[in-house]
Structure 1
């Protein structure tokens, strides 16, 4: 009986931790109507080296964050290892996270893959932060990693 009670307690505790983590992700990630990357397919950045709009038909939830994938094959890949495909810094602009510790919107079509990680950037007619990132990537990445850890609590 004690083993059953202990097991139930562990399961309840795990569910509570998972729900708390999901709530943090939903609060801190860059979401538009609950969807990450403005509906772009995170796997396509890696598989096709381009930004591809996802389809609601192939939506998945990763710890509370919803992603749209563009195909059943990409959905399967994402489900196998979603952390491999998620954008860094919750999908916020990598340059801004490193330079100013700010959560800045992104242009999902402005991206870079570095060491198997997806980085997204703000891009307007007059400001492409990917260019700024490229000028001092190592320093900005180190600062962004640190800043994200402080923000994502």
Structure 2
């Protein structure tokens, strides 16, 4: 009987989606500073050590609320794609810097300092941090994944992104 209860509890646990903690939202009031998270999938990825392709700004009139934050999109098509599978498009660690999480903390992620690894979007905070992140991406992801469960319940970062001006999403 005890095994059956445990099996039912485990099945219920895996059937319920795991919601993340608070999404990082900067002064724009949007997740990922108002950039289109779906558009990253169509941008050219550059080799390690080179500056990332600039992110695509979203529009204030094409949005979705998800994980306690508003996401903006550059097109209705991208919004529809997001609605089909939001967990595929949102950045890891609720938009916080992946290297920061690997070191045990929550700091903002810069939407223009990004990389897709194993079909997951990761953001970092500064160009210098990108250098540290890229020295050992798999190792840093491994550290971040180990740290995230203990960091996740903490409030989202309230720090501004250094050397970054968040444009408000286009009005269309």
TM-score range, shorter chain: 0.7 to 0.9
Give the corresponding residue for 1:13: none
**Corresponding residue pairs, total:** 127
The TM-score normalised by the length of structure 2 is: 0.67
Question: CA-atom RMSD, angstroms?
Answer: 2.0
Give the corresponding residue for 1:150: 150
Structure 1 runs of 4+ aligned residues shifted over 4 Å read: none
The one of 54, 66, 70 aligned to 1:66: 70
CA distance in structure 2 between the partners assigned to 1:41 and 1:119 by the alignment: 14
CA distance in structure 2 between the partners assigned to 1:134 and 1:76 by the alignment: 32
The one of 64, 79, 86 aligned to 1:82: 86
Q: CA deviation at 1:29?
A: 2.0
Give the corresponding residue for 1:96: 100
The TM-score normalised by the length of structure 1 is: 0.75
Does structure 1 residue 43 correspond to structure 2 residue 38? yes
The one of 103, 117, 122 aligned to 1:119: 122
User: More helix by proportion, 1 or 2?
Assistant: 1
Query: Could you list the runs of 5+ residues in structure 2 that have no partner in the other structure?
Result: 1-15, 45-52, 154-172
Q: CA deviation at 1:30?
A: 0.9
User: More strand by proportion, 1 or 2?
Assistant: 1
Q: CA deviation at 1:32?
A: 2.1
